[in-house]
């Protein structure tokens, strides 16, 4: 296993006990939730990697839940302290999740676990069903339709697909000027990435509304990413709520 692959594995979701959402009171795995910690000066801080020290509070990974927690004082109750909640907290979480997903694509490339560009992606699809197809949201419909149709023709179904990043964002993540098409090649790494995409879907559509319904209705189906069934690893010596 390459060092990049090992790093993704280490940062990826691992099974642990369920956590309780401070808004709904429901228990769920960490892969469906966002952890928040308090900074030394009492500021509520998103901890999307679940690594910050100290007591943690968990909120379901969607904009509505975080905004509800902010407006109704759920963080103060969870931390049992006076807290400062930054404006635009849900926007900050979305930005952090987006950055995390793009950074992981770069690590996946270093692990030689991603095909980039139409030629490589087409070859990957011809070899086996795609674990996850990544399409730039501003890419041309013709190129996307060609790859989708090829996958359906060869394997009888559209691939799990994501289309929530621009070609320039994908390009920066993958060391190119622009990237329109990409395809994850290893199931484990695709599952890790899909788990964070599943959390990001609580803040933005992961596929554009303009995509045909059969493509949009295809769930990720990787390690329970749609339902967030995998949890974030435990942190020794920390207490979470």
pLDDT of residue 31: 84
Domain residue spans in the chain?
3-89, 94-216
Note the pLDDT tens digit of each residue in 12-39. Answer: 444 556 899 999 999 988 888 999 999 9
Note the pLDDT tens digit of each residue in 191-203. Answer: 999 999 999 999 9
Note the pLDDT tens digit of each residue in 105-156. Answer: 999 999 999 999 999 999 999 999 999 999 999 999 999 999 999 999 999 9
- Supply the pTM of this predicted model: 0.83
Mean pLDDT calculated for residue range 214-219: 65
Residues 22 and 77 sit within 8 Å (Cβ to Cβ): yes
Residues 195 and 227 sit within 8 Å (Cβ to Cβ): no
pLDDT reading at 3 higher than 50: no
Domain 3-89 has CATH 3.30.950.10: no
pLDDT reading at 226 higher than 90: no
What phi and psi values does residue 9 have, to the nearest 5 degrees?
Answer: -60, -45
Q: Which CATH architecture has domain 94-216?
A: 2-Layer Sandwich (3.30)
Q: Do 3-89 and 94-216 fold alike per CATH?
A: no
DSSP run (H or E) holding 59: strand 56-60
pLDDT of residue 212: 85
């Amino acid at each position: 296993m390459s060092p990049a692959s090992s790093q993704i594995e280490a940062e990826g979701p691992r099974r642990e006990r369920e956590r309780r959402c401070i808004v709904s009171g429901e228990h769920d795995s960490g892969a469906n939730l966002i952890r928040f910690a308090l900074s030394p000066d009492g500021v509520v801080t998103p901890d999307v990697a679940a690594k910050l020290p100290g007591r943690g509070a968990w909120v379901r990974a969607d904009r509505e839940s975080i905004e509800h927690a902010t407006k109704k004082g759920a963080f103060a109750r969870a931390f049992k302290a006076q807290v400062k909640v930054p404006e635009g907290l849900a926007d900050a979480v979305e930005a952090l999740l987006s950055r995390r997903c793009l950074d992981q694509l770069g690590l996946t490339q270093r692990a030689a676990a991603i095909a980039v560009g139409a030629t490589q992606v087409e070859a990957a699809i011809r070899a086996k069903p795609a674990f996850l197809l990544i399409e730039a949201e501003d890419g041309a419909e013709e190129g996307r339709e060609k790859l989708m149709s090829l996958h359906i023709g060869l394997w009888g179904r559209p691939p799990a697909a994501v289309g929530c990043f621009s070609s320039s964002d994908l390009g920066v993540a993958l060391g190119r000027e622009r990237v329109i098409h990409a395809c994850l090649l290893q199931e484990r790494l695709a599952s890790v990435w899909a788990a964070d995409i599943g959390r990001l879907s609580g803040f933005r559509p992961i596929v554009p509304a303009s995509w045909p319904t059969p493509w949009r209705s295809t769930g990720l189906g990787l390690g329970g990413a749609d339902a967030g069934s995998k949890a974030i690893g435990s942190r020794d010596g920390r207490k979470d709520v």
